[in-house]
Amino acid sequence: MWWTDGSRRLAFLTVFFILFIFLTSPLVAAQGGAPTETTTPPAATAGQNPVGGPSIPAKGPYILLNLASTSLYYFEDGRLIKKYRVGVGRTFEQTPMGDFHVVVKHVNPTWYPPTGRPPVPPGPANPLGTRWMGLGGVNVGIHGTNAPWTLGYPSSGGCIRLLNADAEELYERVKLGTPVKIIYETAEVVHDDATGEDTLVIWADIYRHGRATPEEIIAKLDEAGRPGSARIDDVLEALAASEGKTVRLSLGRRADLNGWEVPGGVRFADGAFWVQVRPLAEGFGHAVVWDAKERQVRVDGRPVPGVAGDDGQWRVKVGDLQAILGLQLTWSLDETGRLSLATYGLYLGETLLTRQVVAVGDDFLIPLRVANADLGLRGWWDFDKGQVAVGGDYLPGAIHDYEPYILLGPVTASLGYQVQRDDHSLRIILSKEH
């Protein structure tokens, strides 16, 4: 008979080993260590914080944990208070995902091993550390640790490990009933408070649940308010490089022009802000081409000083944009590091007529079509004289972006408009004289 004494002995040892691994895992032990309760809020921290993602309640405390990034985010009233580095469940004892609540809290918990071994009192040998916050419905809790070197890795039996100091800080903030959401997202957009820049982070797929698809990453960029900030080729390259490791793709600072989100944002380097020239130039009707021979970008046939960024896009200094676009341009930074660019707008009362306004000394050039359609001028471009013909008179103008423009001052004088220039709001406001 094939079932020998040796076979029985091997089978018995195999079953015993499996039971030993299961019963001694921290996942079960943590439940047995239902290891009683007590506020000075921690200071809001600067760092790399998530942008977009799950909606956060506007009221009360809230914990969001992303297993893929081994990061725990604590919110109050919809505002991120602090990010913590954590250890999560091993690949074969994964931390459960879903929506939970904190149902029990203990200071200096005692760990009760489910294997019948003696309880482990509070102290350096206790794997639960100095604080325990148990979650309802699962054998899992948020707790301290006596093995801080395991943080940042899938290293626990299913629980969420924190440094003891972090566990104590979080414990003071968390109340019974605090909602906890545990997710697994391998792609995140994070904002760095120190530099003002955003980064697309593709985390290693530690649980082998599958990495984010290019479509999911593009949706993530849209969700984070950064549409068009990364080329699909760069996303595909980052995905290919993320096999078994974490990859970061800089998106630059956020930037807008007249309230319109600037694709690719803005980068800061060599003491200057740099922006992609193509979307801005094309947005104002300029022709943008790549000169492969000279390896430079041309706008309306003119070479543009700049550099090719690490994203493959041609970037120019913000200070050079005015000359490139032929527009009066101002810029400012807000407290989040967002760069706002703005051009002058021509208004008739409160109605915006155009932002295609070119500064010429103390005056401005505006499109001839705007002067005719909106201001009542009846002029046409005389190619022989290089001026605008109005009846038997000629008014100064110029060809800009292959389109005739006319100097605003003579137009308003001939048609009886008053001009108010507001450099603070970047408005040129016209009103009719009575």
Minimum mean pLDDT range among 69-78, 193-202, 204-213, 406-415:
193-202
Residue 36, SS3 per DSSP? coil
Closest CA to 79 of 65, 100, 98, 64: 64
- Helices 214-223 and 232-241 pack at an angle, to 10 degrees, of 120
Please give the structure tokens belonging to residue 292: 């492969």
Query: Does an H or E element contain 142, and which?
Result: strand 141-143
- Give start and end residues of each alpha helix (H) in 42-163: none
Are 62 and 183 in contact, with CB atoms under 8 Å apart? no
d(CA 25, CA 420) in angstroms, rounded, equals: 76
Asked whether residue 352 carries a pLDDT value surpassing 60, the answer given is: yes
Average pLDDT, the chain: 79
Asked whether residue 374 carries a pLDDT value surpassing 90, the answer given is: yes
CB atoms within 10 A of CB 226: 23
d(CA 203, CA 212) in angstroms, rounded, equals: 9
Minimum mean pLDDT range among 99-113, 229-243, 389-403:
229-243
pLDDT by residue (tens digit) across 145-157? 999 999 999 999 8
Please give the structure tokens belonging to residue 186: 């391998």
Ramachandran quadrant class, 259 (left: phi over 0; alpha: psi -120 to 50; beta: rest): left
pLDDT-based confidence at residue 317 (cuts at 50, 70, 90): confident
d(CA 17, CA 312) in angstroms, rounded, equals: 55
- The tally of CA atoms less than 13 A away on the side-chain side of residue 380 is 5
Q: Which domains can be identified in the chain, with CATH numbers?
A: 21-183 (2.40.440.10), 187-253 (no CATH), 257-334 (3.30.457), 345-432 (no CATH)
Predicted TM-score of the model (pTM): 0.60
Please give the structure tokens belonging to residue 71: 């990061």
The sign of the torsion formed by the CA atoms of 173, 179, 180, 184 equals negative
For the purposes of burial, counting CB atoms within 10 Å of the CB of 126, is it exposed (0-12), middle (13-18) or buried (19 or more)? buried
The reported pLDDT for the residue numbered 281 is 79
The percent helix, strand, coil of the chain (3-state, each to 5) is 20, 35, 40
The reported pLDDT for the residue numbered 28 is 33
DSSP 243: T
Residue 91, SS3 per DSSP? coil
pLDDT by residue (tens digit) across 56-93? 888 889 999 999 999 999 999 988 899 999 999 999 99
DSSP 304: -
pLDDT by residue (tens digit) across 27-54? 333 333 344 222 223 333 445 556 666 7
